[in-house]
Amino acid sequence: MTCRIVASPLGAIRLTAGEEALEAITIIGGKAPDDASGHPLLDEAAAQLAAYFAGTLEAFDLPLAPLQSERGNALRAAIVAIPYGEVQSYGEVARRIGSGPRAIGQACRRNPFPIVVPCHRVIGTKGSIGHYSGGEGVQTKRHLLQLENRKEPRLWAA
């Protein structure tokens, strides 16, 4: 596996890739130099993240390492299907794919690809922000939601 650290508005992000797919994205925070890796997949992931943070990319096109179960892959696909700038509750996502809200919450909590698999778009019932396991938790989730809604700001309950 090969890693690359990229700078972002969230702080440093570590990208990890195997030969054919991204293996993980980790929001580590703090300041770090954005270093070129010479690894085409990591360089493409870094470019797509930079475009996302610049507001010019709404959907990622990166090969992600598959999860170990078909159910996990289905939960991931349901989260990825939430459009840029929109949110859905754990219950809404669960109903859409015939699952339970708790399973969606676990998929978000275990998500190895924050931002790219946009678990920040999954919120609690009645608009509560819910939880976030990436970066600085809820603060990071709020930042991502605000970034995606810069055209039409929305307010989410605390």
| Catalytic residue numbers, as ranges | 119
Residue 5, both tokens: 């650290």
C-alpha to C-alpha distance for 114 and 158, rounded to whole angstroms = 21
All residues at 6 or more sequence positions from 86 whose CB lies less than 8 Å from its CB, including other chains: 121
Closest by alpha carbon to 105, among 81, 128, 79, 80?
79
- On the CB side of 103, CA atoms within 13 Å amount to 17
Beta bridge partners of 128: 157
